[in-house]
Amino acid sequence: CCPLQALDLCVQLLEMGETALIVSDAKYCYGAQGRSPDVPPNASLTLEVELLAARDAPDLELLSGKEKIQLANRKRERGNFFYQQADYVLAINSYDIALRIVGSSSKVDFSPDEEAELLDVKVKCLNNLAASQLKLDHFKAALKSCNLVLEHQPGNIKALFRKGKVLAQQGEYREAIPILKAALKLEPSNKTIHAELSKLVKKHADQRNVETEMYRKMLGNPSTASTPRKCKDKLPWSIPWKWLFGATAIALGGVALSVVIAARN
């Protein structure tokens, strides 16, 4: 059945045997687009609910492998539903619950197949969690989720792609490009990775050009700084220094010779 957040929120406030009339916005029911042809877009929901029975949540430590997998998958699917409705906060909450179920301690032994299936659920939840966090610009959290996936599966294409996108969103093009190249090597026909990688390569080149120009302005252009500047407004009577120095030396020499000759006479 479709998860109705309105029921989740209201039933917790009811006493046993109490009846309540619940009127809810579409956001907390079937979403803005509706769930079926019978539900028009943006329709509110009105329900009369009576609490007849209640039971405690299951003890996660006593769940069998199969029961734990089923419960975690139900929470993951609820997260997928909220993600499709673009309600990323509720999606993150559902994925977090699923991950807590998968990671909870257990007093029951699981078979190798059940352990593998639990790991598969965990990886799916972490990947979907990273996608939701990326939608909300929670880059640090999304990067952590991607890294957790890659710890278990270094070649996970979704985690590599999303990690590359997270780094790119932070302007870390130098780090993002090799990661996207690794994802593309694993799936060469993936057009989405191709497009993202091409975009990042161009952005990285533009970034380097901007940095080069900035450094050139800060430090000055060595090619122009090392070249002597030509004096365009040189006066016609100006004399080169080496000529002036030579003429001065000759004049001093002439004076000294005159003094010697005069002394002899």
Q: What is the pLDDT of residue 200?
A: 87
156-208 pLDDT, tens digit per residue, is 999 999 999 999 999 898 999 999 999 999 999 999 999 999 988 888 776 66
Give me the pLDDT at residue 262, please.
46
Question: Per-residue pLDDT tens for 39-68?
Answer: 666 667 788 888 888 877 788 999 999 999
pLDDT at 30: 66
Question: Is the confidence at residue 235, as pLDDT, over 50?
Answer: no
N- to C-terminal Cα separation, the chain: 133
Which domains does the chain carry?
1-55 (3.10.50.40), 57-136 (1.25.40.10), 149-220 (1.25.40.10)
Paired residues of 23 in beta bridges:
46
Of the two residues 16 and 226, the one the predictor is more confident about is 16
Mean pLDDT of the chain: 81
The two three-digit tokens of residue 37, written as one number: 């042809």
Residue 11 in tokens: 């039933």
d(CA 246, CA 257): 17
Give pLDDT tens digits for 65-101.
999 999 999 999 999 988 998 989 999 999 999 999 9
In the chain, which ranges are continuous DSSP H helix? 5-11, 65-84, 88-103, 112-135, 139-152, 157-169, 173-186, 191-219, 222-225, 241-264
Residue 147 has pLDDT above 70, yes or no: yes
> Could you give the CA distance from residue 128 to residue 82 in angstroms, rounded to a whole number?
11
SS3 12: coil
Q: Which pLDDT score is estimated for 234?
A: 46
| List of long-range contacts for 22-27, beta carbons under 8 Å, 24+ apart | 22/46, 22/47, 22/48, 22/49, 27/87
* Helix or strand holding residue 108 (H, E): none
Three-state SS string over 33-48 comes to: CCCCCCCCCCCCEEEE
**Phi-psi label, residue 109: left if phi above 0, alpha if psi -120 to 50, beta otherwise:** beta
